[in-house]
Amino acid sequence: MNATIEKLKEIERQIEARKKQDKNVAALEKSLKSKRRTIASQKERIRKMKSKHTERIRKLRQRLDDRKLRDKTALEKQNLKIDAQKETRDYNLTTSLKSYIDPRVYYRWGEKVGYNLKNYYSKTLQRKFSWVEKN
């Protein structure tokens, strides 16, 4: 950019020198206008590049913040799963329902409090214990 400015100054000096000598300066003035247009277009291009760069940086920061939030939520969810697993690792609810607890007890309790048997038995166990509803 500095080289272009130096060329402009050189052309302006040449124009002044030719005017003093009463020579034609049209070609030099045309060259000067061309150089000024070039400088203006370069400045505009730089300005646009800076604004695009700023916009890209803003979008990247936004994506990074979104990713951090998503990762934080996922981490909290995993921690909750780990805590639940630690709390319930000593017993298996499915095995208890299937093997140790009489389904008639659950059925009577469900009728008493208005809770449906299908909410706590899987479809397989519902088929297995279908005889409870008939008794």
Q: Is residue 23 part of a domain?
A: no
Q: Is residue 43 part of a domain?
A: no
Q: How far apart are CA 68 and CA 46, in angstroms?
A: 33
Q: Is residue 127 part of a domain?
A: yes
Q: Is residue 119 part of a domain?
A: yes
Q: Is residue 115 part of a domain?
A: yes
Which domain does 119 fall in, by range?
A: 91-135
Q: How far apart are CA 12 and CA 19, in angstroms?
A: 11
Number of domains in the chain: 1
The DSSP annotation for 108-128 comes to HHHHHHT--GGGTS-HHHHHH
Q: Is residue 131 part of a domain?
A: yes
pLDDT in tens, the chain (135 residues): 577 778 778 878 888 887 777 777 777 778 778 888 888 899 999 999 999 999 999 999 999 999 999 999 999 999 999 988 888 777 666 666 666 778 888 888 888 988 887 777 888 888 888 888 776
Q: Is residue 20 part of a domain?
A: no
Q: How far apart are CA 23 and CA 10, in angstroms?
A: 17
Q: Which two tokens stand for residue 14?
A: 């040449």
Q: Is residue 121 part of a domain?
A: yes
